[in-house]
Structure 1
Amino acid sequence: MSDATRDGLRLEGLVVSHGGHRLLAIDDHVRPGEVLTVMGPSGSGKSTLLSVIVGTVDPAFAVRGRVRLDGRDLTGVPPEGRRIGILFQEELLFPHLSVGGNLAFGLPPDLRGRAARQARIEAALEEVGLTGFAGRDPATLSGGERARVALMRMLLSEPRALLLDEPFSRLDAALRAQVRDLVFAAARARGLPTLLVTHDATDAAAAGGRVFEIGVPVASG
């Protein structure tokens, strides 16, 4: 897809309800390279919003409106076909695979040839300062190193949008700022519309974009 056809992530009249109560309503356009931060108390629907976008929402939730990515209506599209990357609080690296094996898992299937795939993995590790780590066991990595591997595994899948579900919350303050800056820089460099869910105001400030605050759930009108 060329840059001329990239429109970003559109949440068009999105309303999510549960048990007759409206959790959230949002209508927004996150353009390529922008970050929209979503904040709110526990149970307000932040993670549910992410599940709606990625296509894994529980059927118990009623959803109205549409999600569009680069002009494509994602209604009915399975999660694996949406081209949306997501990072969670935990890195979820595969313990039975090396660092290189974890990254290989994210490579697009149309990238053929052992040399080409290895070159892509080495370039990804170099981008995040982990040159030579391909053979390492994930269990030997620090928290920051695991976060970098998880980021690159997701980016190697060539997503068109990025969802961040409090991925910095388990890191100490200094490391949190370092990894956060790395993630935002990578998203901007690739022109990815990014939606960040966080409880932390410093995360929202670092994102530098708009903030959408979800309030206490209210009854549907």
Structure 2
Amino acid sequence: MNDDRAPLILDRVRLRLGPRTLLGPLDAHIPPGHCWTLMGPSGSGKSSLLAWLAGTLDVAFTAEGRVCIGERDVTTLPPEQRRIGILFQDDLLFPHLSVGGNLAFALPARIRDRHERRARIEQALADAGLAGHAERDPVTLSGGQRARVALLRTLLAEPDALLLDEPFGKLDHARREDMRRFVFAHVRARGLPTVLVTHDEDDARAALGPVVSLAMADTDHTDDRITR
């Protein structure tokens, strides 16, 4: 694990849509390499919370509270300055770029040397069991391979924290188990504090961390409880 990593901290977070409280108040201290899971029905605010953490919450919502990475308060920073990566259910690979081109897109601008950029891409692919796939068209990959490339692209951007928005939902059972192992192994190895949103209890068990159940809010109060 990377000893330089800092925890992801949620401090009295509350989300509203108009007069309705979607969730909160929520508090969390997510250590490096650990995963905090949110479960609940559609409309309970799970994905909206991830959007707020990433800095992309729709203006129709209002939010209270703070999000910090260690001592760095990122609450008001634009998305590109937060250093928070996010992985969605859809892989969102760029169809006009090769696999290597998709990965190169995520590399930090400070890495300018062409050989170093190529080496980082090739090492990432090798670590994912995709050596030799840099020139492949993403459309030729299996669903599991595309999911791994999407994670690699997120990680190559060198985030300080990771958000997972139903990332295994479109995979079949076998690929889902494989992808869970792949994702959570990287979370632990890289020391990334992580928030997972899922409907699947198997995902929550694989994450090996606390689980928060979010109930639908039909008043100005939500019942948000740590269930494990």
* Same topology, TM > 0.5: yes
The letter of the residue matching 1:103 is L
Matching of residue 57 in structure 1 with residue 24 in structure 2: no
The letter of the residue matching 1:98 is S
Q: 2: distance between equivalents of 1:218 and 1:63?
A: 17
* Matching residue of 1:94: 94
Matching of residue 77 in structure 1 with residue 74 in structure 2: no
1:104-137 CA-partner distances (Å, limit 9, x unpaired) = 0011111121111100000000000000000000
Q: 2: distance between equivalents of 1:74 and 1:114?
A: 32
* Matching residue of 1:197: 197
The letter of the residue matching 2:77 is V
**Where in structure 2 are the equivalents of 1:4-83 lying within 5 Å?**
6-25=5-24, 26-83=26-83
1:36-67 CA-partner distances (Å, limit 9, x unpaired) = 00000000000000011001111221211100
1:122-159 CA-partner distances (Å, limit 9, x unpaired) = 00000000000000000100001101110111100000
- Normalising to structure 1: TM-score of the pair? 0.96
Q: 1: distance between equivalents of 2:94 and 2:61?
A: 31
- Normalising to structure 2: TM-score of the pair? 0.93
* Matching residue of 1:136: 136
* Matching residue of 2:165: 165
1:2-43 CA-partner distances (Å, limit 9, x unpaired) = 835x43110000011112111111111111001000000000
1:167-196 CA-partner distances (Å, limit 9, x unpaired) = 100000111000111000001100000100
| 2:179 counterpart SS class | helix
Greater displacement, 39-48 / 70-79: 70-79
The letter of the residue matching 1:124 is A
Q: 2: distance between equivalents of 1:175 and 1:83?
A: 28
- 1:70 deviates by 2.1
The number of residue pairs the alignment matches comes to: 219
The letter of the residue matching 1:201 is E
Q: Structure 1: which 5+ runs fail to align?
A: none
CA RMSD across the alignment: 1.1
Q: 1: distance between equivalents of 2:91 and 2:158?
A: 18
Moved over 3 A (4+): none
